Structure formats: C-alpha cells, structure tokens
Amino acid sequence: MIHWQEGLVGRRLRAWRGAVEVEVETDNGQITALAYPDLVGEPHPGDRVLLNTTALDMGLGTGGFAIVVALPDRLPTERFEGPGHIVKARYSPLQTVCLGVDEEDSPARSVMQRAEHLAGMPVVTADLHSALPAILAGIHADVPEAKVAYVMTDGGALAAGFSRLLSALGDRLAGTVTTGQAWGGDLEAVTVHSGLLAARHVLGADVAIVSQGPGNLGTGTHWGFSGVSVGETVNAASILGGRPIGSLRISGIDQRPRHRGVSHHSLTAYGQVALVPADLPVPDGVDQHVLDALAKLASLHRVVTVPVNGLLEALRASPVKLSTMGRGLGDDPIYFLAAAAAGRHAAALLGSQQ
C-alpha cells in the first residue's frame, strides 16, 4: 500500500547528479521530497506535486524521504524514441526505459559481444554502499592512477541518483554501471555478469567495486537481508575470470550482537553463498575475536592481513563524508579501515598483473 499526499513546491533545496531535493507544502505541513528529473521532469517552485510518502511515514532511515511521483499539471511531453529498449523497475508504476550496454542499439554492442573474460581484474565486493568511498580511498592511496568502476546492484536503492556519494565521487570513478532493476548509471546492464564485463571492457576499469545502492534491507534473520548478493557477486567475478576480494563488514561498537565484530552478513554471504574462493583482507592489528570468527571462512577463502599505515590519512582525505549506520570514521574506524584494506589489497594485485 502506498501513502499518497499532494503539495506545492516551495523551493529547491539541494541538487546532485540525477536528483533534486525540494521543500513541499502539504495539508499536513512542510516536508522534504526527492525528485528524479529523468523520470518526472524538473520540479520548480509553485509546481503541484504528487508524492509517495510511505517511507517518510514509516520513519525509515536511508529511504525515509517523500518521493515525487508526478508533476500532474506539467507532465513531461517528450516521448522516448530510443535508442534502447531495456525496461528497469519493471512493471512498477515508475518503470523506465534505458539503453542497455549490450543491446543491439548500443555503441558498445560489438565490444560486449566479444567480452567474455575479466583477465584477472580485482573485483571488490561490499555489503553496504557506505563502503564505496573507503574502498576507493584504499585503492588510490597506493595506486592513484588506477581506473575504478562502480557496479551497483539492485538490493538497495534502484535509482543511482539517490546516492549523493556517487555524485561527489564522480571524477574519481571511471564510471558507474547499474545492474538488474537498478538504473541511472553511466551504463546500464541486465546482470552483474554483464555489468562487470562492461566495467572492464567498456569503461576500461582496472578495478571494479560492487555493492548494492544505499539502503540495505534486513530482517534480523539469518537469510533475510539483501547483502546475500555479495556471495553471488563473488561467484560471478570468479566465473568471468576476475579476482574476487571481500570487503568485510566489521564493527567495534554496533549495538546489535549480530553485527558486532564480523557481521553475520559477511559470515553468511562469504561462508554460505559464495561457492568459490575470495581474498578476505583484514586490517593489521584487528582484535583476536575477529580473527577467530574469520577462521570459519578460511577453509574456502584466503584471509589476508593488510598493513594499515597511511590508510587513516587516506580515509580522512576522502572527498565525501564517511558514514555508516549514522557512525563516522571517528566513531567506528574499524569498519572503514576494513573497507580501505580491501582497496589496498586490490591495488597490490594490480602490481602483480604487470
């Protein structure tokens, strides 16, 4: 069930690539809403807007926004004439048409037809979107010139425009590939497999980072969380001849026992979903209880200790604010250090490919 409201746009607040935040006056007071201009058009002060306020009314964290569904008095009049016929957010009220990187009309079609192998490209997999800038910092701390592509899966936000991180990191990434039902990247792919091949062969990436968009979904049960896709990405990367690297979700202060130390999300995804070996970097000096937990994964995976010298400085120099579950670098440094260590390990593998 969708919660609906109508209102009038008062003023624009913030805008970043793919999204605009506006202040809306409704019968129930003033609220903040998010619009995706490529879906609904550009909202202006005075426009009447139709809002989906479900997530806002539920008080959700990452997704707790009102979303602009339409500008009823000023609907976009242009028709999509192509190229492209890939439909994403399929059969939902806001399904949209994209040009798939490997479909017939794509300029990259011939490249993608030949693309079958990642040629040993490091593929860093992460449970949470918040790991992206930390992994990137770890890569560029040692290999500043490395071309890094982001492959966004559809376990969290479907719209790449929802992520302010992506907008702020734009010039540090070779590009973004949105896969599955996710949309709004520089390239659109149907699967993680084709997304990884596009990252390597179309964007020319040296390293790919794969995670869901903002807004991990979890139920507190063993299998009911969207981060299980991390294990599936490990399998995909290996099948395609890449080098999977797991960015472990580690916390020193999470109040939930299932996420303290090594999160059960990492233990489940790498321990039960991944069917092939991955490198699991661990920051040097990590607590023994973390190493004890990872011993359960060592029968399949390679647990690699990574030196952390210089990584805190690299994380502090990140162009975006580091935050996970409301905690910053100073609150829970091990989370970000673990992600940066995965990036550093990926950078080290680039040297071995020369």
Residue 214 lies in a domain: yes
Most confident region among 53-62, 77-86, 90-99, 248-257 by mean pLDDT: 90-99
Residue 206 lies in a domain: yes
* Mean pLDDT value across residues 230-248: 97
Domain boundary among 22, 44, 70: 70
Most confident region among 53-57, 134-138, 333-337 by mean pLDDT: 134-138
Whole-angstrom distance, CA of residue 240 vs CA of residue 117: 5
- Whether 53 and 165 map to the same domain: the answer is no
Q: Over 70: is that where the pLDDT of 260 sits? A: no
Q: Are strands 302-306 and 279-283 parallel, antiparallel or unpaired?
A: parallel
Q: Of the candidates 9, 44, 14, 11, which has an alpha carbon nearest to the alpha carbon of residue 25? A: 9
| Least confident residue range of 11-15, 75-79, 300-304, 339-343 | 75-79
Q: Over 70: is that where the pLDDT of 352 sits? A: no
Residue 184 lies in a domain: yes
Residue 92 lies in a domain: no
Residue 100 lies in a domain: no
Q: Which pTM does this prediction carry?
A: 0.94
Tens of pLDDT, residues 173-206 = 999 999 999 999 999 999 999 999 999 999 999 9
> So what's the pLDDT on residue 253?
67
* Mean pLDDT value across residues 92-105: 92
> So what's the pLDDT on residue 251?
85
- Whether 146 and 46 map to the same domain: the answer is no
Higher-pLDDT residue of 351 and 269 is: 269
Please confirm whether the linkage preceding 83 is cis (ω < 30° from 0): yes
Tens of pLDDT, residues 43-88 = 999 999 999 998 888 887 666 689 999 999 988 877 666 788 899 9
- Whether 44 and 132 map to the same domain: the answer is no
- Whether 62 and 118 map to the same domain: the answer is no
- Whether 62 and 120 map to the same domain: the answer is no
Higher-pLDDT residue of 153 and 354 is: 153
Residue 231 lies in a domain: yes
Range of the domain at 306: 109-353
The model's confidence at residue 134, banded by pLDDT at 50, 70 and 90, is very high
- Whether 147 and 202 map to the same domain: the answer is yes
Whole-angstrom distance, CA of residue 237 vs CA of residue 124: 9
* Mean pLDDT value across residues 92-116: 94
Whole-angstrom distance, CA of residue 169 vs CA of residue 162: 14
CA angle 229, 246, 329 (to 5 degrees): 105
Residue 230 lies in a domain: yes
Helix, strand or coil for residue 266?
helix
> So what's the pLDDT on residue 80?
64
Say how many domains are in the chain.
2
- Whether 114 and 243 map to the same domain: the answer is yes
- Whether 122 and 25 map to the same domain: the answer is no
Q: Over 80: is that where the pLDDT of 261 sits? A: no
- Whether 182 and 275 map to the same domain: the answer is yes
- Whether 218 and 318 map to the same domain: the answer is yes
* Mean pLDDT value across residues 119-145: 97
Q: Of the candidates 22, 36, 91, 46, which has an alpha carbon nearest to the alpha carbon of residue 69? A: 36
Tokens of 64: 């707790």
Domain boundary among 70, 88, 117: 70
> So what's the pLDDT on residue 110?
97
Whole-angstrom distance, CA of residue 175 vs CA of residue 192: 15
- Whether 157 and 276 map to the same domain: the answer is yes
> So what's the pLDDT on residue 343?
98
Residue 81 lies in a domain: no
Please give the span between the terminal C-alpha atoms of the chain, in angstroms, as a whole number.
54
CATH of the domain at 343: 3.40.50
Higher-pLDDT residue of 322 and 254 is: 322
